[in-house]
Homo-oligomer: A and B are copies of this chain.
């Protein structure tokens, strides 16, 4: 019963101010995770840590850099945020261990991602909580490019044969054009108009892209906000169910 939980960068950081943690929100997330038991993988986004540096160096998921200094700067900002997340979890007795995608994953010349999950599976089997994050990764012909937290979630869901995906975001669910939370999305066409109207601004893909990707997975996903994290981890169905 593997659960993958994505903590959105906009939830745990102050997205408008470079490298600024939203400490109270991270504390609330860590409180909700405490005591939820085994078989949990946490993935967090970059928020104001990663995106700021990635934009400054012109690095995205398909445009890279071969400059090691730029790569190290983006990666360093993300590992700083990762250390904050790990500390808050470990402080509460959650056996969290870091997994840095720069060490693990890569893309080939066509941009296809390889993310070997054997180490993450072994950590889960031994009772640890692996904590991954958006990062830069080596990319054939591009130097390094961005790997988003959302891509990690989608990839791991398949390789780990996950049972549930939770996306803890800044909004209470996927919203229709009237601003109401959509209860469930089973096909994209049914919500395309609603989503097309509300462009999210995020270099690693807005809500429409997230919904499309999640619908392609075999694992059901829920989009909800921090108020509903405990309910999701308790087995509930808050926010919007996708798939």
Contact = CB atoms under 8 A, between A and B. Distances in A.
A33 interface: no
A123 interface: yes
B104 A125 contact: no
A106 B118 contact: yes
B97 A100 contact: no
A119 interface: yes
Contact of A127 (B66, B69, B72, B104): B66
A7 interface: no
Nearest to A103: B103
B90 A106 contact: no
Interface stretch (A45-53, A138-146, A188-196, A225-233): A138-146
Nearest to A116: B116
A125 B116 CA distance: 19
Given A104-B119, A122-B140, A137-B119, A69 B90 contact: yes
Contacts of A35: none
A151 to B, nearest CB: 15
Interface string A81-102: 0000010001000111111111
Contacts of A97: 68, 71-72, 75, 102, 138, 144
A118 B118 CA distance: 14
A3 B181 CA distance: 56
Contacts of A127: 66, 143
B119 A105 contact: yes
Q: Which of A90, A95, A127, A138 counts the most chain B CB atoms within 10 A?
A: A138
Contacts of A36: none
Given A97-B68, A123-B138, A104 B106 contact: no
A119 B140 contact: no
Interface string A55-92: 00000000000111101100100000000001000100
A224 interface: no
A66 B38 CA distance: 13
A101 B137 CA distance: 15
Interface of A: 66-69, 71-72, 75, 86, 90, 94-108, 114, 116, 118-119, 121-123, 125-129, 137-144
8 contacts: A66-B128, A71-B97, A97-B144, A101-B103, A114-B119, A119-B137, A122-B139, A126-B142
